[in-house]
Chains A and B, each alone.
Chain A
Amino acid sequence: MTFINYAVREINCKIVYYGPGLGGKTTNLQYIYDRTNTSSRGKLISLATETERTLFFDFLPLELGEIRGFKARFHLYTVPGQVFYDASRKLILRGVDGIIFVADSQESRMEANAESIRNLDKNLSEQGYDIATTPYVLQLNKRDLPTAVAVDEMYRRLNIKGEPTFEATATTGAGVFDTLKAAARLVLADLKRK
């Protein structure tokens, strides 16, 4: 749900990082926070447990510049990945404009990835969204691990609609901004379509 404010000429969009627990959603946000000029980003808020597992959400506001005379502001959120936090995940999806699915490349996490995509689909439809028409980007994270499943194989298992797909290693930042840019592009293109 984009918020367009004509009075102060701003558009505000919400992008949510979704995916299974320990997949690197928070690490994506942390990297963006570390590498963005202080003038174009706000504070990174993390509601996490003492062991740094996301409890409710992480939040990072970004200001990317101007588009057609409007300030483009993106609010990035992560959801808690652990299965039992489903109630929180639903709340964070409210008003979402675009989704980045962070998949874990390890073989042992393939079922968790698939389960999380099913969960996303279900939670989106409960909010009145259709995953087929919602801007959506797939990130294959942890490409640096020796147990990483081949990209083709992951794409075959996880791709749902030919979405833009990026390889990433969020700990080093590889692929992090490419993924974000692709999502922002889809969200803005969607705005144009409306």
Chain B
Amino acid sequence: MMPQDLVLYEEQFEKIRQALQRLLEDANARLVFLVDKNGQQIAAVGDMTSLDTTSLASLTAGNVAATDGLARLIGEKEFSILFHEGASDNIHISIVARRVILVVIFDERASLGLVRLRVRRATAELETVFEEIARKVESESLSLAAEPEAPFSEITDEDIDRLFSE
């Protein structure tokens, strides 16, 4: 079976952002973001001015994928939490709903204990949203013919040419 595309709608996107924002505040974190296991950033909140979140997303996914590989090699299903400790900033990485990665970057204003505690709560919230998304995608694929918002079925060769016109 081909892997499913990830489709995100406004309503669920807003819920995800709210959950991340709450986690950011409750954990005193610098930056909180959510990445698909394939490296696509889903949402991010916090201080993004000094950080390249696209690169962060791709490297996080690579990191988790490599660690998953390590886990399987030693007979574990996965390492559900990764923690990288730096001199002033730290990264806490955990898996949500088996397919997305929650990343919290924090400094001395927070502690690992606090972050772990808040991440657990946020994970439960986010899992509910992802269940909702899965249900929505399933029901929409059943009524595919009636899909009103499938803009890509209309893509023409001219649209594609235009992308490369510069």
Binding site for B on A (CB under 8 A): 1-8, 11-12, 14, 42-43, 45, 47, 56-57, 59, 61, 64-65, 67-70, 72, 75, 87-88, 91-92, 94-95, 127-130, 177, 181, 184-185, 188-189, 191-192, 194
A11 to B151, alpha carbons, bound, how many Å? 11
B138-166 residues at the A interface, CB under 8 angstroms: 149, 151-155, 159-160, 162-164, 166
Q: Is B129 an interface residue (CB 8 A)?
A: no
User: Which of B52, B155, B164, B166 has a CB less than 8 Å from the CB of A68?
Assistant: B155
Smallest distance from the beta carbon of B2 to chain A beta carbons, Å?
6
Instruction: Report the nearest A residue to B41, measured CB to CB.
Output: A12
Instruction: Give the residues in chain A near B40, CB-CB below 8 Å.
Output: 3, 12, 14, 75, 95
Binding site for A on B (CB under 8 A): 1-10, 13-14, 36-40, 42, 52, 54-55, 58-59, 62, 65-66, 69, 149, 151-155, 159-160, 162-164, 166
Verify B62–A57 contact, CB threshold 8 A. Answer: yes
A61 to B61, alpha carbons, bound, how many Å? 14
Given the known inter-chain contacts A64-B163, A75-B39, A128-B2, please indicate yes or no for A6 contacting B7, CB distance below 8 A: yes
Smallest distance from the beta carbon of B15 to chain A beta carbons, Å?
10
Given the known inter-chain contacts A1-B38, A128-B3, please indicate yes or no for A6 contacting B8, CB distance below 8 A: yes
Given the known inter-chain contacts A14-B38, A129-B2, A192-B155, please indicate yes or no for A88 contacting B66, CB distance below 8 A: yes
Instruction: Give the residues in chain B near A129, CB-CB below 8 Å.
Output: 2-3
Instruction: Report the nearest B residue to A91, measured CB to CB.
Output: B65
A interface, over-half SS: mixed
A12 to B61, alpha carbons, bound, how many Å? 15
Instruction: Give the residues in chain A near B2, CB-CB below 8 Å.
Output: 128-130
A2 to B149, alpha carbons, bound, how many Å? 16
Smallest distance from the beta carbon of B7 to chain A beta carbons, Å?
5
Verify A91–B155 contact, CB threshold 8 A. Answer: no
Verify A7–B9 contact, CB threshold 8 A. Answer: yes
Given the known inter-chain contacts A6-B10, A68-B154, A95-B36, please indicate yes or no for A189 contacting B160, CB distance below 8 A: yes
Smallest distance from the beta carbon of B13 to chain A beta carbons, Å?
3
User: Which of A2, A43, A56, A128 has a CB less than 8 Å from the CB of B5?
Assistant: A2
